[in-house]
Chain A
Amino acid sequence: NAGVTQTPKFQVLKTGQSMTLQCAQDMNHNSMYWYRQDPGMGLRLIYYSASEGTTDKGEVPNGYNVSRLNKREFSLRLESAAPSQTSVYFCASSDSRGGSRNQPQHFGDGTRLSIL
């Protein structure tokens, strides 16, 4: 039972570099999400994908792009990293079949990203 798997677990980048955070889930969930968590803050939604082939912006999408590669995988890309993007990034998934919103989200263990 892997659940939601995120890679890498840790990464250090220099300002201006690019990278892609990977996320995969094995629960056959339709919906997937990317959040960021900053010290003393709750999680904030960056992007989400309600189903394969669709993506939408969340609360803090600037500076990020996403790709829903298939039902299992949802990646987050930083094109030109900035120090303000130093954060812990969490991927989550939920079973939203039938449009149900009353479902829990399942989280990965996060990617700790530092931008120097």
Chain B
Amino acid sequence: SQQGEEDPQALSIQEGENATMNCSYKTSINNLQWYRQNSGRGLVHLILIRSNEREKHSGRLRVTLDTSKKSSSLLITASRAADTASYFCATDEWGGGADGLTFGKGTHLIIQP
């Protein structure tokens, strides 16, 4: 079953604006990861945040994690046309038997030039 749920499902903004995507999940986790998928391509890892971390930055990306609310957000600042893609959150469940990630359905981000 899907663990994460991204919100919104689709987002269209102007180039230069900030984009915020949210992810909610259901169980305790070891870590939460964000991935980007360009059309017709595989997923590319963006950032991993551990369960004991609250915020992490990487370039124009900022990720927050609130384990009490079981939610995370991904902020992309100063968006560019090249940021157009689908973004997925994925969780590594704590105590999970399967050594794999559980993905949400994704947010499709469109950056208008």
Q: Which A positions have Cβ atoms within 8 angstroms of B?
A: 4, 31, 33, 35, 40-45, 48, 50, 56-59, 90, 92, 96, 101-110
Contact = CB atoms under 8 A, between A and B. Distances in A.
A36 B101 CA distance: 12
A43 B4 CA distance: 11
B82 to A, nearest CB: 18
Given A42-B104, A90-B43, A102 B50 contact: yes
Contacts of B60: none
Interface core residue of B30, B88, B100 (most chain A CB under 10 Å)? B100
Given A102-B48, A104-B48, A45 B42 contact: no
Contact of A43 (B30, B40, B43): B43
A45 B33 contact: no
Interface in B80-113: 88, 90, 92, 97-106
Given A48-B100, A59-B1, A101-B99, A108 B105 contact: no
A50 B99 contact: yes
Contacts of B97: 56
A41 B105 contact: yes
A106 B97 CA distance: 20
Given A45-B98, A48-B99, 14 more contacts: A35-B100, A35-B103, A42-B88, A42-B104, A45-B100, A50-B99, A56-B99, A57-B98, A58-B100, A90-B43, A101-B92, A104-B33, A107-B35, A109-B40
Interface in B1-19: 1-2, 4
Interface core residue of A43, A103, A108, A110 (most chain B CB under 10 Å)? A43
A87 to B, nearest CB: 14
A59 B48 CA distance: 22
A45 B31 contact: no
A8 to B, nearest CB: 15
10 contacts: A31-B99, A35-B100, A35-B103, A42-B2, A42-B103, A48-B99, A56-B98, A90-B43, A101-B31, A103-B48
